[in-house]
Each structure stands twice: as C-alpha cells, then as structure tokens.
Amino acid sequence: WGGSFNGGSDYMTILVLLTSTSAFLLPQYSHYIWIYLGVQVVLSYFISGVVKLKQPTWRSGESLLYLIQSSNYQIPDKTKHLITNKKVAAALSWVVIIFEISSPLVLLSPNICFFYLVIATTFHIANFYVFGLNRFIFAWLASYPALVYLTFMIH
C-alpha cells in the first residue's frame, strides 16, 4: 500500500463513481457523461503506454524486473523465476507498452473493442495474480461499459 490513496486504481474508481452518479442525477447529460468516461478509459491506457515507451528502463525490461524483485509484492515463486529472465522481462514490457498505446484502436469497431476488453481483463487478472493489484481489476472493469458505449456511439 502506498498510503490511503493508491494512484491509478483509486483515480479510476473515483472517476467511475462520479460519472455514474452524475449520469444518474443528470440523465439529460448521461450521453455526454458516458462518452467522457469512455475517453478517459482510452486515455488511461494510452498515456500509461506513452510514459513507458519514453522510459528506457521500461523498454529494456528493467522496470518490470525491479517491480518483480521489489519487496512490496509477494510474487509466486514460479512466476518470479520466469519473469526474472531479462529477455522475458523485456518481451513482457513491450507487450504491455504495445497493449497500452494501442488502446485507441478500440474506437475503430465494436469487434475490436470487445477483443481488446478481453485482453485488458486478462491483463488486469495477470496483474492481480503477479502483483496482488486487485483494485485495478474492479476499477477498470467498472469503466468498460462506458468504453463499449463510446465505441457503439461512433459506429
């Protein structure tokens, strides 16, 4: 825990709660509120990916290795052994970067959106398994209906 406020998952939780409440209280604006939340979901992944892409330590896999070896996380031994390989860590880092920066592609079609959300859900489940980041699963899953709404509004 990084204190009572835990970064990205807490921001997304607050955003989902505020937009859901606003859409309920202001139904005449719900269309715009759901679009806003959908855009925020895309941006949350995209910006995270761009930040990682700019950092040599993410591109090389060093950041992932640091997270794996950090005492903050109790990572299962089998997983830790696999990911501590530098080539595996670099490959996984690039998978994450590409996944995140490709998030705007969800807006191209509902099929791409659904496919991406399956991958995103798997990504968050993996993060829970490896790092114990359970709040990320719930925060982002709760935001996905707005992303689906946005995609269908475009098409």
Q: Write out pLDDT tens, residues 19-58.
A: 999 999 999 999 999 999 999 999 999 999 999 999 999 9
Residue at 109 is within a domain? yes
Q: Write out pLDDT tens, residues 50-78.
A: 999 999 999 999 999 888 887 677 777 77
Chain centroid offset of residue 90 CA: 19
Domain that holds residue 91: 37-154
Residue at 15 is within a domain? no
Residue at 69 is within a domain? yes
pTM: 0.89
Report the C-alpha gap between 153 and 50 in whole angstroms: 26
Residue at 88 is within a domain? yes
Tally of domains within the chain: 1
Residue at 42 is within a domain? yes
Residue at 92 is within a domain? yes
Residue at 130 is within a domain? yes
- At how many degrees (to 10) do helices 86-101 and 110-131 cross? 140
CB 83 within 8 Å of CB 64: yes
Residue at 96 is within a domain? yes
**For the ranges 2-16, 74-88, 96-110, 121-135, the one whose mean pLDDT is highest:** 96-110
